[in-house]
Structure 1
Amino acid sequence: MAQPAARPVRLVNYLAYGANDVLGAGSMAVISAWVLIFYTRFCGLSAGQAALIFAVARILDAFVSPTIGHISDHFDRHALGRRFGRRRFFVLAAIPLLPTFALMWLPGQTFWYYLVSYVLFELTYALEIIPYETLAAEMASDFATKARLAGVRILFAQGSAILAGFLPLWLINWLGRDSPHTFLIMGVIFAALFMATAGFLYAFSWERQRPVPPKPAAGSPLLHLWRNLSSTLRIRAFRLHLGMYLGGYISQDIFNAAFTFFVIFALAGSTQAASALLGTMYIVQLFAVMLAIRMALRSSPSRAYRMAAVCFALGVAALIGLWWAGLPATSGWIWIGMGLVGLGRGALNYIPWATYNYMADVDEIVTGRRREGSFAGVMTFIRKATQAAAVALVGLLMDAGGFAPKADVQSHGAVLTLVLVMGIGTWAMLGFGMAVSRRFRLSRATHGVLMGEIEHLRSGGREPTSAQARDVVQDLTGWDYESLWGNNPVGGKL
């Protein structure tokens, strides 16, 4: 049976969908750039304690996120899901909880306060962001519309990252460099933005029609949940997508966690200088996203990914070269490094989210079902678990290298450790993502073939429409054509 006609995605829908990534990316930009500085320089925690808070919260959230994704896939069995939307209900429920972000930045508290407040925000973040990540696939089915939705999302993400970079600088200039209230005011401003954009998203988004919700599977609900989630990893395109996503994003996590310390202690800069550099980098990223949107639509996303990774790697090399040459953060040469870093990071931010929007389509031809929530949950689970490990490792290595909290000057060993972590860690993850990208062949052309085969199977077809279609679908799914459309363990048949 053919799918009902798609509802047109208008400008206000693009804007509402994109604006919500002020929460998705904006909060992560603030946290990754500033939380270690806030905890160590204004709260007196060691780098190891700060990294432990980050790691515990992310690991707990990593288990909660896939559960929320699974629940949202089936929430229209319940009256609340039918009334408010199986995805959008969670967006609405999270709005009054988003001020927990501001509570994270209250100065003068204990280790346990910062641990609990961070965990509360991470759980609220998961409650809202996991269902949100399904909405592009819910609202559109064609390659171009999904690519534009991803593009608008990342443009808003880069705008919020620019604010995350410059806002501390403006507040420091207003309140003074030693005021701990800088970050609290920043947290309040961002929390208000999060609530406004989540409300905008709820008002101008929708979900695809699903008249008859599936019946619950027999047996243990918990066992069914984890079988369903783990089965997403049996989709070849999704496994490769995860590799590219982790390579591009964890390289940025490592860079973000180390960069502010690098500017202050390796390049003899200041918090204000780091803020200005980050803000400028995010402006460059904004323009890089615009270029990446065009490249991904007209060319291969995997090729654009590799070009971006090389650009980012060269930028990091240029920054480390400044330290090696003994030049300070005020040197004009630093803008070359920051420009290259920004160009690379902008594309690396966009491309994985653009390709993610097609994963449920690849899964549908395997299972005959739509599981956007499960993919969002698993993606966040793996992302946050690895992100927690990466940032915690940065903090622990800084501790091992002799980093001293609240100190204005660090030892040569501490600075060398910081430089090596930022360089080697970033380059290693970029190399991993590039290697994976060479095997990823989802593009506008192959997606078109995939969608044609889905309609062919939905209409009762059993043989591929052509030998080329067979090859494309088998490469994307990792399954033989005869095993598609539910004729496999993932789809429920042995």
Structure 2
Amino acid sequence: MATSAPAPTASGQRPVRLINYLAYGSNDVLGAGSMAVISGWVLFFYTTFCGLDAWQAGLIFLVARVLDAIASPIIGHISDNMGQTPLGRRFGRRRFFILAAIPLLPSFAIMWIAGQGFWYYLVTYVLFELVYAMEIIPYETLAAEMGKDFKTKAKFATTRILFAQASAILAGFLPGWLIEALGKDSADTFLYMGILFTALFMLAAGLLFLFSWERPASEVAALRPAGDQKPSLGSAVKALYRNLFSTFRIRAFRLHLGMYLGGYISQDVFNAAFTFFVVFALAGSITVASSLLGTMYMVQFVAVAIASYVALRKSPSRAYQLAAISFAIGVVALLVLWNAGVRSTDALIWVPIFFAGLGRGALNYIPWATYNYMADVDEIVTGRRREGAFAGVMTFVRKMTQSAAVFGVTTIMSWGGFISGAKVQSDQAINTLAIVLGIGTIAVLACGILVSFRFKLNSATHDVLMAEIDRLKAGDTNPPTPETRAIVEDLTGWKYEQLWGNNPVAGIRR
């Protein structure tokens, strides 16, 4: 199928134009936008308008994410091998999934129909999570497919996160705007929000399909071991476990995951408790919570540009540390103000919102900026390109830990005396919310900060890595310089003599 991707240059590398960056970035309206809506509102929607207990809402989240987490690595593995099939050759091994997901994206809207039972919400949530994985996992490989150098991949990551933050702003403010139009007790607020976002998701996925491309089939085939066959369902299931543990044997990826989970799970805990905290501890309303969330996301949007600058000029790890500290300051300040009697209508409440947003925006950007280089580190270890495996495993780990975090928060809320549908909560329930919001968020952030001090991937070390890959591809057998050896061994976690396929991770000997 014809696309609007530019033709390759004489060097064989297609030039990346503004429209390609924009089309790629816009798809995170689905990737991050849907998650912003869900993390900010779905638990509140279930407990306020659907009659579910907090633990039931958390259980839906847990079951859906676990099933999705199991499916995600399988999708990643199949997309790695889809190019051997007729559909893959015609539409692309990654882009086929993006095209197929478009007519299934209305599954997001039907999640937000009020007045249904537990099983309805469980089934509709599971359905959307599977459609989401089907589209997002191939999407996450495309920056590595379309760009090779550090700066190009950084631009893809920056564009993506800017769109993500813009969609998060809409997810924050939109419920408040709809409440003003429909009334504060109308559950249709969330249904109309779901319909609007569904339309945006379908538009973004269509643009991504039209203005993206993949590595040439010949290049992918050259990196495939001789005798490799197209995958069966059984091999895909086996790859779930094989890829999970083999990607963990790449040191940079392990550290990247630690930073990623530290930044994102801390936000999961915060998001799960924040709306309830505003409504019941700060004497606010859905409209106030919507305004605070929207403003926080606006600050996050600005923070992405700052984080991009610091990550390129200093290092991703330094930018991460500053971001985590800012987020922690916001959380502590919010609790201090609440304890001092400040409520949601007081102007001081915007101070912690500013610090939290500044940190969260950078924490959202940095892991995805560094993720685009994980397949490069893996290539020097295995001699292969496994973007799909890394995308699948990363999603698997993220969904498993996120589901555990949210289920843990809702379970603790229930133990703390939270009553679904109540207009007022007990002091015990409110104190429990404060403890979850404070200790839970900051403890996870601290773990991410500790990991970041060991993460050494930056523009300079990535340049060394890519130059060494090119040298090995050319068959140069001269030993590397001591500096190159040290950098590559630190990033990979393997002795230099074990690289380029001479290790169990590769599965073959070169």
Q: Same fold (TM over 0.5)?
A: yes
TM-score by structure 2 length? 0.95
List structure 1 segments (4+ residues) > 4 angstroms apart after TM superposition: 217-220
Q: Which of residues 79, 84, 92 in structure 1 aligns to 2:91?
A: 84
Q: Which of residues 24, 29, 33 in structure 1 aligns to 2:40?
A: 33
1:228 and 2:235 are equivalent in the alignment: no
1:316 and 2:331 are equivalent in the alignment: yes
Contact 1:241 1:356 in 2 (8 A): yes
1:429 and 2:444 are equivalent in the alignment: yes
Q: How does 1:174-253 map to 2 (within 5 A)?
A: 174-211=181-218, 213=221, 214=224, 215-216=228-229, 221=235, 222-253=237-268
Deviation at 1:250, TM superposition (A): 0.4
> How many Å separate the matches in 2 of 1:384 and 1:224?
18
> How many Å separate the matches in 1 of 2:489 and 2:370?
18
CA RMSD in angstroms comes to: 1.3
Q: Which of residues 50, 67, 76 in structure 2 aligns to 1:69?
A: 76
| Partner AA of 1:445 in structure 2 | A
Identity percentage of aligned residues: 67
Q: Alpha carbons of 1:457 and 1:479: their partners in 2 closer, same or farther (altered >3 Å)?
A: same
> How many Å separate the matches in 1 of 2:292 and 2:199?
25
Question: Which residue of structure 2 lines up, in the alignment, with residue 149 of structure 1?
Answer: 156
| Partner AA of 2:93 in structure 1 | R
Deviations 1:334-374 (A, max 9, x none): 11100000000010000000000000000000000000000
1:47 and 2:60 are equivalent in the alignment: no
**Number of matched pairs:** 492
| Partner AA of 1:46 in structure 2 | D
Question: Which residue of structure 2 lines up, in the alignment, with residue 490 of structure 1?
Answer: 505
1:132 and 2:139 are equivalent in the alignment: yes
Contact 2:77 2:239 in 1 (8 A): no
> How many Å separate the matches in 2 of 1:5 and 1:479?
31
Question: Which residue of structure 2 lines up, in the alignment, with residue 269 of structure 1?
Answer: 284
Q: Which of residues 405, 416, 419 in structure 2 aligns to 1:390?
A: 405
Unaligned runs of 5+ in 2: 1-9
1:353 and 2:368 are equivalent in the alignment: yes
Question: Which residue of structure 2 lines up, in the alignment, with residue 301 of structure 1?
Answer: 316
Question: Which residue of structure 1 lines up, in the alignment, with residue 474 of structure 2?
Answer: 459
Deviation at 1:5, TM superposition (A): 2.7
> How many Å separate the matches in 2 of 1:217 and 1:149?
30
SS in 2 for 1:230: helix
1:326 and 2:305 are equivalent in the alignment: no
Deviation at 1:461, TM superposition (A): 2.2
Contact 2:266 2:441 in 1 (8 A): yes
Contact 1:254 1:391 in 2 (8 A): yes
| Partner AA of 1:322 in structure 2 | L
Deviations 1:134-165 (A, max 9, x none): 00000000000100100000000000000000
Q: Which of residues 5, 8, 15 in structure 2 aligns to 1:8?
A: 15
> How many Å separate the matches in 1 of 2:499 and 2:26?
37
1:335 and 2:350 are equivalent in the alignment: yes
Contact 1:401 1:414 in 2 (8 A): yes
Deviation at 1:492, TM superposition (A): 1.6
Contact 1:464 1:481 in 2 (8 A): no
| Partner AA of 1:118 in structure 2 | Y
| Partner AA of 1:62 in structure 2 | A
Deviations 1:422-443 (A, max 9, x none): 1011001100000000000000
Question: Which residue of structure 1 lines up, in the alignment, with residue 7 of structure 2?
Answer: none
1:163 and 2:170 are equivalent in the alignment: yes
Contact 1:70 1:229 in 2 (8 A): no
Deviation at 1:225, TM superposition (A): 4.8
> How many Å separate the matches in 2 of 1:463 and 1:492?
24
Q: Which of residues 493, 498, 503 in structure 2 aligns to 1:478?
A: 493
TM-score by structure 1 length? 0.98
| Partner AA of 2:338 in structure 1 | W
Q: Alpha carbons of 1:450 and 1:242: their partners in 2 closer, same or farther (altered >3 Å)?
A: same
SS in 1 for 2:114: coil
Deviation at 1:464, TM superposition (A): 3.8
Deviation at 1:299, TM superposition (A): 1.1
Q: Alpha carbons of 1:465 and 1:56: their partners in 2 closer, same or farther (altered >3 Å)?
A: same
Q: Which of residues 103, 106, 111 in structure 2 aligns to 1:99?
A: 106
SS in 2 for 1:234: coil
> How many Å separate the matches in 2 of 1:463 and 1:291?
41
Contact 2:269 2:406 in 1 (8 A): yes
Deviations 1:267-290 (A, max 9, x none): 111110000000000000000001
> How many Å separate the matches in 2 of 1:216 and 1:330?
63
Contact 1:19 1:201 in 2 (8 A): yes
> How many Å separate the matches in 2 of 1:19 and 1:38?
27
Unaligned runs of 5+ in 1: none
Deviations 1:105-161 (A, max 9, x none): 001101000000000000000000000000000000000010010000000000000
> How many Å separate the matches in 1 of 2:76 and 2:230?
17
